[in-house]
Structure formats: structure tokens, C-alpha cells
Amino acid sequence: MQKEKVIIVEKLTKRFGQFVAVDNISFEVERGEIFGFLGANGAGKTTAMRMLCGLSIPTSGKGLVAGYDIHHQSELVKRNIGYMSQKFALYEDLTVAENIWVYGGIYGVPQKEIAKRTDELLQKLGFESERNALVKSLPLGWKQKLAFSVAIFHRPKIVFLDEPTGGVDPVTRRQFWEMIYDAADQGITAFVTTHYMDEAEYCNRVSIMVDGRIEALDSPQNLKKQFNAQDMDGVFQQLARNANSNGY
């Protein structure tokens, strides 16, 4: 049985003047897959991700995300994906419930439905007594969990996670990955960037970008075999050491 493809990218390219930030990349990601998007700083990850999220128009090539064309239907793309980064996640001066309300509203979830899902979510996270607490008063680990839950509140087909675990403690980092697994089990695709190489092992497949191109794409197991490396760090070091863009 062929699985539904939630990302289809063909020969996607982005130039800034003479500089080719993303150079002719092609790949597909399936529904419910955890896809690791790795690369050195400056390799083109952010530019590629911005195009996939409908925030930047490709110079050439094609991309379909959640069934919509990233060039001509970017508003529909934005409405049908979730996004979370370490830097921009939640409004610190709003309460837990208010944050959920804002995000639910922005993504067009009906008010009644927001109320219902908020109750379910707070119960699932064990956050009921924090409903009216300001987000800035929560421990970092809780914020991360809430931010992820908010990013998938409108039940998108795919969620983009840009270094979601930077700086969090080792236990919370792992609990966060368990939430990603849960979401994937429910059919939500996770598209993840990270600098923690052990986290690359938790992905179903991993792509590694070097100088704007995808130099490797496979399951962690196959990549380790292919590069004769003990772990994903070994694979990454081999590929990224050869990069031209010494400007990380």
C-alpha cells in the first residue's frame, strides 16, 4: 500500500543574487513519518524550511506541502501546517489557556471546538491547575510541551519543528521526543531540525544538507552502514567536514 505523501519536493532551488542557498533538492516525506532535516549552520536548512512553510518563494522547482503548492498556494500551506521553534513558541505574558485560544483562533478552529480541545489537552498534559497561570511562570520543560501541543492544536498533517529541544534538560528532551512519537502515531508528520546527533537516531529517515544540496537521505541505520560510522555523529562529521561554506 502506498502511503500518502505530505511533502513532495522537486528540484527546489533558492538563489539570493549569485548565492545558491538551496540547490536543486528533491525528496518526499510520508504521512506519520518523523523526518530529520540535518545540516551544518549555513547549509541552507532554514531557507529550505522557510520555502516549505510558504514563507519564501522558490527561485525554481516545485513543492507540495500538505497537498498545496508552496509557490501559488502559500496561504493554504500555512493554514495546514504546524510550526514550532525554540525561539518563537508562546506568548509569555498570556496564560496557558489564552495561548491556546490565540493559536486555535489564528488557525480557524471554531470557538466551541477550542474550548473542548483545551479541556482535553490540559487534562492530557496534566496542566489543569495551570490553566490560568502565565506562561512565563512555567518551567522551561512545561513550556516546550505546551508549545508543541499548541503547534498541533489545529491537527495539521505536518508539523515543522526547528531545533525544538535546544537547551532543555536531558529528561525533558526525551519526553519531548516521546510526544513527537505520539503525534506520529496519530498520523502527524514531524519535520525536525536538531543539533543533537543522538536525536537524529530517533527519526525514521534523515536528510543531511551540505552547501545547499542534500548529500545523504536514508534511515539512520542505512546511513551508518553507508558511511561506515558508529553513530549519526560520525555520519554527520564525514559529510559536513567537506563543506565549502566554512561560514557556519
Binding site for other proteins (CB under 8 A): 39-42, 139-140, 163, 166-172, 174, 177-178, 181, 185, 195-198, 201-202, 220-221, 231-233, 236-237, 240-241, 243, 246-248
Mark 84-107 as b/e (b = at least 16 C-beta within 10 Å).
Answer: bbeeebbeeeebbbbbbbebbeeb
Instruction: Select 60 or 219, whichever has its Cβ closest to other proteins.
Output: 219
Q: How far is the CB of 34 from other proteins (least distance, A)?
A: 10
How far apart are CB 93 and other proteins at their closest, in Å? 16
Q: Distance between CA 146 and CA 96 in Å, rounded?
A: 8
When the beta carbons of 50 and 78 are compared against other proteins, the nearer one is: 50
DSSP secondary structure of 68-118? EETTT-HHHHHHTEEEEESSS---TTSBHHHHHHHHHHHTT--HHHHHHHH
Which is closer to other proteins, CB of 77 or CB of 209? 209
Q: Of 23, 26, 13, 24, nearest to 207 (Cα)?
A: 26
User: By CB neighbour count within 10 A (0-12 exposed, 13-18 middle, 19+ buried), where does 140 fall?
Assistant: exposed
From residue 45, alpha-carbon distances to 20, 25, 163, 186, 211 in Å are 12, 11, 11, 26, 10
Closer CB to other proteins, 57 or 140, in the complex: 140
Minimal distance, residue 112 CB to other proteins, in Å: 33
Least distance CB 105 / other proteins (angstroms): 29
Minimal distance, residue 239 CB to other proteins, in Å: 9
Smallest distance from the beta carbon of 194 to other proteins, in angstroms? Answer: 10
126: its cell numbers: 496534566
Nearer to other proteins, 147 or 243 (CB): 243
Q: Which is nearer to other proteins, 104 or 212 (CB)?
A: 212
Q: Do the strands 189-193 and 34-39 form a parallel or antiparallel pair, or are they unpaired? A: parallel
